[in-house]
Each structure stands twice: as structure tokens, then as C-alpha cells.
Amino acid sequence: MANIQKYSEETFESIKHYTEDGIEFWYARELQHVLEYTEWRNFCSVIDKAKIACINSGHEPDDDFVDVNKIVDAGATHKPIDDIMLSRYACYLIVQNGDPRKEVIAIGQTYFAVKTRQQELIEDYDQLSEDQKRLAIRNEMTVHNKSLAEAAQQAGIVTPYEYAIFQNKGYQGLYGGLGVKEIHERKGLKRSQKILDHMGSTELAANLFRATQTDEKLRREGIVGKEAANQTHYDVGRKVRQTIKELGGTMPEDLPTPSKSIKQIEREQKKKELKK
């Protein structure tokens, strides 16, 4: 079994480059090495699948996959080799289409998915305050929960009761067996209070990843049946939890509960806007 401790966010951060304009990118051949593909041609097949996914999502591949030539040392001489400059989104699509049996692929999926989502939320995500991050991710969570509900309905989750069970399975996978009721109790929340409104940005990001990946998996694999859909949500939640553990992160149930709810932050923001 691979030594999972050697994998972390630094695994991918360490091979990140910047253009003269300050735009981040990764070289495909360096990513190939990190993702443990020994043959370039095999990795190219993964890149081709990622390009197809890019087209299907409405993006132009040429913007995210830029062919380049590099000069490398070849003994006493130098020789040109083909390479590809990849955007963060391109890397995300590559790891999504990579070999799921590779442990580093699972970590890459979490890293690029969360970072790509943060970048989509706002370019200056890292400059936001904790309250601003919470609001941004919570709003994104609202959007994706609607999409997840639609995917669940297509799979056979029809009634509100069935959807509550489906959601509970996702939480149980991510929170080590704790369901909605147990999480409420752990956070000291009333039944009427929404769990997502009482999460910090890190916990929200983990739940956003759980929701988006379950949504995509249900649709991509055409999963049908309540039991299959529930199991899928649980499995995705458990996989996210496993990756957090492998990265040395804090388990979601052990993260602190913020003193302010999302509703309180929203009210404070409205007051500030009215004073302007």
C-alpha cells in the first residue's frame, strides 16, 4: 500500500507554475509523474477524455489545454518534447477521468474540485474573511442542493421523506455514521435550524464537494432506484471523509461550530449596506 502521507495539497501546489501575467497553470508531463502514470501515451488518453468532458460542459478545450513545446536535457544534448499547459479546471477534469484505484487520484480529485470551486466562486477567495467565505460557499451549496435533488428524483427519490433519508445517508458517510439528528445534537442546534447555516467554511467546502460529486455520479452512471441512490450518496460522503483523513485534515464533526449563523451574517451585511 502506498505511503499516503507523501500526498497532500503540496503534492499539487509544488508543481504549479505562473505565466508572466500571473495566471496559474500546470504542465501535463509533471502532473503525469505526480499521478503515477509511467507512460505518456496512457496519460494522453486520460487527457483526451478530460477534453471531451470539457466540451460537454460547454467549455472550449483550447482555453484550458494549451499545447506547448519544451526543451529538455537528453544526456549531453537537448531535445524538444510536446507538453500541455493545463488550467486548474483542466487538471480537475483529468483527475476526474483518472484511474480511481490510484490513491493519489482521490486526493487530486478533492484538491482540484474544492480549489476549482473556490476559484469559480470568486477570484480572490483566499482574501475573503471567514464570514465571506461561509456566505459564498453556502450560496453555492443552495444551488447545488437543488441540482442534487433533481438528480436524486431522476434516480427514484420522489417524496420529501425519501429525500430526507437520501440526505441523511450522505451525512452519515461524511460524518462517520452521524446523521442529521446526531449532527444537530453535536452542534447544539434546534430542529428548526439548518445544519449548513452553522458550519465554518472548511466544513461547508467538504459538504459542497459531497453534494457536487454525488450529483455528478448519479447522472454520469445513470443510477436508478432508491437504495442505489442512497448507497451512492453514502459512498461519496465516506470517500470525501477518507480523503480528508489521508490529507491529515480535521474530521467534519470535530470542526468548531461558528458563533454566528449564516442568517446572522446576512442580516449584518444588509445593515451595513443600508448604512452606506
Q: Which residue has the higher pLDDT, 102 or 61?
A: 61
Delimit the domains of the chain by residue range: 4-105, 129-263
Q: What is the Cα–Cα distance from 198 to 228, expressed in whole angstroms?
A: 30
Task: Give me the helices (H) in the chain, please.
Answer: 9-13, 28-34, 40-56, 61-64, 88-96, 103-121, 130-155, 160-174, 180-187, 201-220, 226-246, 262-275
| pLDDT at site 122 | 54
State yes or no: pLDDT of 86 exceeds 70. yes
Q: What is the Cα–Cα distance from 163 to 145, expressed in whole angstroms?
A: 11
Give yes or no for a contact between 169 and 231, defined as CB atoms under 8 angstroms apart: yes
Q: Which residue has the higher pLDDT, 203 or 121?
A: 203
Q: Percentage of the chain with pLDDT > 90?
A: 45
| pLDDT at site 149 | 93
- Cα angle 229, 233, 238 (rounded to 5 degrees) comes to 145
Q: What mean pLDDT do residues 29-38 have?
A: 92
| pLDDT at site 130 | 87
Strand (E) or helix (H) holding 255: none
State yes or no: pLDDT of 72 exceeds 90. no
- State whether residue 57 is helix, strand or coil: coil
Q: pLDDT tens digits for 131-178?
A: 888 888 888 888 788 889 999 999 999 999 999 999 999 999 999 999
